[in-house]
Amino acid sequence: MKITDTFEVARDVDSVWALFQDVPNLALCLPGAELTEDLGDSRYKGTVEVKLGPIAVSFEGEATIEPDEAGRRGIVKGSGSDRRGGSRAQMKVDYSLEATDVGTRVVVDADIVLSGPAAQFGRVGLIKEITGRIIEQFVACIEAKLAAETPEEAAEVHASEVKGLSLFLASLFAPIVRFFKRILGRS
């Protein structure tokens, strides 16, 4: 499934780029993610835990990051598996940063392939809704890290825990709420 998202960070592009290159620090801003080992040469081992209603998966895997400093862009390739449930995931994420009048625009273009039990919850609309909520937390964490006054303070900032059931339910009901807002807005 393909997911494209754009978000703004109210900080200059150089600061945002520097944070994107500090992978251990940036990983703290991804809800459910934990970096477990730096393998060198921009390769990392880690886990990503996702809990959505009745299903919980913990993917263990590796990611490789290919930054292009001159173009302020990069590629992240990763794969992992959930040993308990047998699900597998592969991803390729292209990202780019661009200076704007108010800070930095970040464009993320992801291609994610799920297989096994997790794939049954891979409905594109649901995944996009959940991804949107995770990106909101990611952006808030980035803003907080960049606003910290010391590196020690920034290191203490991390993404809040993803509340599986509430996130799942909110994501399910979001299209219904939007539908009613459109109808009521026309009246």
8-49 residue pLDDT tens? 999 999 999 999 999 998 989 888 889 999 999 999 999 988
The DSSP letter of residue 130 is H
CA distance 16 to 72: 10
Smallest CA-to-CA distance from 2 within 88, 114, 99 is with: 114
What's the token pair of residue 61? 């895997």
Q: Render pLDDT for 38-89 as a digit per residue (tens, 0 to 9).
A: 999 999 999 988 776 566 778 899 999 999 999 999 999 999 999 888 888 8
CA distance 74 to 63: 13
Q: Where are the domains of the chain?
A: 2-186
- Displacement of CA 13 from its chain's centroid (Å): 19
The count of other CB atoms within 10 Å of the CB of residue 44 is 20
CA distance 51 to 84: 13
What would the CATH number be for the domain defined by 2-186? 3.30.530.20
- Overall pTM surpassing 0.85 (yes/no): no
E strands present in 23-142? 33-40, 43-52, 55-68, 73-81, 88-99, 104-115
Cβ contact 80:61 at 8 Å: yes
